Structure 1
Amino acid sequence: MSVTVVVPTLGRPSLRTLLGALAPGIARHGFELIVVDDRPAAVPPLEVDGTVLPGPARGPAAARNVGWRAAKHDWVAFLDDDVLPGPDWADRLLDDLAEAGERVGGVQGRLRVPLPGGRRPTDWERVTAGLADGAWITADMAYRRDALAGCGGFDERLPRAFREDADLAFRVRRDGWRLVRGRRQVTHPVRPESPWVSVRTQRGNADDALLRRVHGPRWRELLEVPPGRRPRHVTITAAGVAALALAATRRPGWATAAGLIWAAGTAEFAAARIAPGPRDPREVGTMLVTSAIIPAAATLHWLRGWWRWRAAQPVRTVPAEVDRR
């Protein structure tokens, strides 16, 4: 069985580690390797033992489409550039694909996220660890090219590594394919991030607005996305805006009441994030500050996405032309 491995990358140092771990298995089984260089300015060019294609610099969904459309094999295995496959990953991948029935369109690998010992994980570490329980995430996901072509591939309107894999999986299953979990495994280390990462990731709410538009009110259920806190965030934000507006119009009683609602909601949110963490001064301070910002950021990004995608239509399922080489 022949396989194409597609790795979209922004040129992070982890790419070298990944490719080094893949090399023996690729050589042993003759896999095709396609690295999609998605850096806005690809200088200097990547030098790898495989095919390097320029990406459109519009996010991982568009980069993966470049990769699978250029693939020459019937199975395409997507890997993120920050995972680390074990020495037997290629062998286990072939085992997973060999066991897949003819109506299986995709096989997911198992993801392990190592957490530090001796203390509770931080908020960011817990978010990363949640990937281990994610459904059909493309950190390690193999698809039949026919399944990808039939549904139109990844939705390139989703520019972040956020929901684009869940959206694809839904459309593949809607076309009648089955998705299953395999036994191969990769490790996903927790990469270092700034204290503001939780605020920055709120941009994904704009993508949620697109998914709500194209899949309808039941989009979370259809895409197997767990419920979020957006309704609470909207309430907290509305209370904060109301408190400021009422204070400006010199209605102190109502302003105080709205302010108390904002404070209570923010305190509950912060406590929910602090309780399972290490509770050291740095983490507690970060959680207090970001918990005050996140509700408004989430709400504003959702409204931005709602307006931008107010007339969005589902992805066309007419297969795009692909380069069989």
Structure 2
Amino acid sequence: METRISVVIPTYRRPQLLVNCLEALASQTLDNTNFEIIVVSDGPDTATGEAVAQWHAANSGINCRYLSTPGKQGPAAARNAGSIAASAPLIAFTDDDCLPASDWLEAFCRHYRGEPHIAMTGGVQVPLSPRPTDFEWNTAQLQEAEFVTANCCCTKDALLIVGGFDEAFGMAWREDSELQFKLMIQGIPIVHVEAARVRHPVRAAPWGVSLREQKKGQYNALLYKKYPRLFRQKIQRHPVWHYYATVLLFAAMCTALVLDWTPWFQLALIGWLLCVAVFTCKRLRMTSKSASHIAEMTVTSLLIPFIAIYWQWYGAIKYRVLLF
């Protein structure tokens, strides 16, 4: 039978999560002769290749292929490799830590009317614990996003017109918005298909994970350089003035201490502590109040403004754009 839709899954050294995703795809209501699965490892990975081979041996009725990029290049490059290899006119994207609903592919196919150029998005559900951590809460914001690669679908021709994903985005950050903006500029309709649902469980994260996450901020500069108006309209309406105020007050405090300007030191110290306290309370407002989480939020709130501004300016210099 005809392959109506291809599923592309980028992955990187998470074989067990990937197998869970593949199991969800094996339960699709769409006849398995109507779709194919293309798993693309972001760089060679023996463990992932073996996991896919074992899964495919137990699910031989499903057309599943395993590819890998020559080296680690990021999920954008992996998705492009999978798109090129896809044989269907429709290409659905999800991530290796996602669990598509049983009627996910059928919902996209049911909505598709043979348009040569169209993109579709679906609903993302992020299950949260009664007292979520800051990391869980931030992940849950995917539920409100307009266009995410955890759950989207494009015609192959539409991807060809916009040039696919921009591989300059070397991490899983803003590459989905970059594709969305290109589709919008080309006038390719993006339709929301609520029935196409994906579950996105929050994976375990180490203490202080928010510090490591700041590295992704460098790609804000790249997206802003390419689409300044859309970036301000849909991503970040204003510069992160709170971060700048925190850093400047800390610098003023250190300067006043060195110069022995006691009143100015005290004033700057109060301002800095107030900024940190407001930031910490904001992060704790909807999240866990456990002692460990409060300690994590306090420590990371002290450091995040410095690290975030560093990576933002790293990106600004790297991509030669002024972004506050």
1:160 aligns with 2:171: yes
Counterpart for residue 265 of structure 1: 275
Deviation by residue 1:31-83 (Cα, 9 ceiling, x = unmatched): 121100114x4124343431111124121111111111221221110110111
**Contact conserved, 2:117 with 2:158, CA < 8 A, in 1?**
no
Distance 1:42 1:124 in 2: 27
CA contact (8 A) 2:118 2:154 kept: yes
Letter in 1 for 2:22: L
Q: Is 1:120 the counterpart of 2:134 in the alignment? A: no
Alignment partner of 2:307 out of 268, 288, 297: 297
Deviation track 1:282-310 (CA, whole Å, cap 9, x = no partner) reads: 11111111111111111111111111110
Q: Name the CA distance, whole Å, in 2 between partners of 1:238 and 1:273.
A: 21
Q: Secondary structure at the match of 2:123?
A: strand
How far the C-alpha of 1:164 sits from its partner, in A, is: 0.9
Partner-residue secondary structure (3-state), 2:161: helix
1:52 aligns with 2:56: no
Against the structure 1 CA distance between its residues 267 and 24, is the aligned structure 2 distance closer, same or farther, given a 3 Å change threshold?
closer
Aligned to 1:87: 102
> In structure 2, what is the Cα distance between the partners aligned to 1:140 and 1:253?
55
Between the aligned partners of 2:321 and 2:37, the Cα distance in structure 1 is 38
Overall identity of the aligned pairs, in %: 32
Report what 1:316 is aligned to.
Answer: none
Bigger mean CA deviation after superposition, 136-145 or 154-163: 154-163
Task: Quote how far apart the aligned CAs of 1:90 are.
Answer: 2.6
Deviation at 1:103, TM superposition (A): 6.8
Alignment of 1:211-290 (within 5 A): 211-216=223-228, 219-221=231-233, 224-225=234-235, 227=237, 230-290=240-300
Cα distance in 2, alignment partners of residues 68 and 298 from structure 1: 33
Calculate the aligned-residue CA RMSD, in Å: 2.1
- The Cα of 1:138 is off from its aligned counterpart by 0.6
SS in 2 for 1:34: strand
How far apart, in 2, do the equivalents of 1:284 and 1:149 lie? 47
Q: Give, as a single letter, the amino acid of the residue that structure 2 aligns with 1:283.
A: H
- Where 2:39 maps in the other structure, the secondary structure is strand
8 Å Cα contact 1:128/1:190 also seen in 2: yes
Q: Give the Cα–Cα distance (whole angstroms) in 1 for the partners of residues 321 and 133 of structure 2.
A: 39
Shift of 1:172: 0.9
Measured after TM superposition, the shift of residue 4 of structure 1 is: 1.1
Give distance in 1, aligned partners of 2:304 and 2:206.
Answer: 15
> Given the superposition, is the C-alpha separation of residues 245 and 122 from structure 1 closer, same or farther in structure 2, using an over 3 Å criterion?
same
Where structure 1 has 5 or more consecutive residues not aligned to the other structure, the ranges are: 313-325
Mapped partners of 1:253, 1:173: distance in 2: 54
Q: Is contact 2:124–2:143 with CA below 8 Å preserved after alignment?
A: yes
Match of 2:61 in 1: none
Structure 1 residue 218, shift from structure 2 partner = 5.1
Which residue of structure 1 aligns with residue 11 of structure 2?
9
Aligned to 1:109: 122
Counterpart AA for 1:256:
Q
TM-score, with length taken from structure 2: 0.88
Q: Quick one: which amino acid aligns to residue 9 of structure 2?
A: V
Q: Specify the alignment match of 2:140 in structure 1.
A: 129
**Structure 2: unaligned runs, 5 residues or longer:** 57-63
Residue 104 of structure 1 deviates from its aligned partner by: 5.4
Tell me, yes or no, if the aligned pair for 1:57 and 1:63 is still in contact at 8 Å: no
Matched residue, 1:37 = 41
Which shifted more, 249-258 or 123-132? 249-258
- State the match for 2:60 in structure 1: none
CA distance in 1, matches of 2:102, 2:116: 29
What SS class does the counterpart of residue 220 from structure 1 fall into? helix
AA in 1 matched with 2:317: W
Secondary structure at 2:292 match in 1: helix
Name the counterpart of 1:201. Answer: 213
Matched, 1:97 2:112: yes
Query: How many equivalent pairs are there?
Result: 305
CA distance in 2, matches of 1:234, 1:217: 22
Which structure has more relative contact order (CA 8 Å, sep 6+)? It is 1
Question: Which position in structure 1 is the counterpart of 2:59?
Answer: none
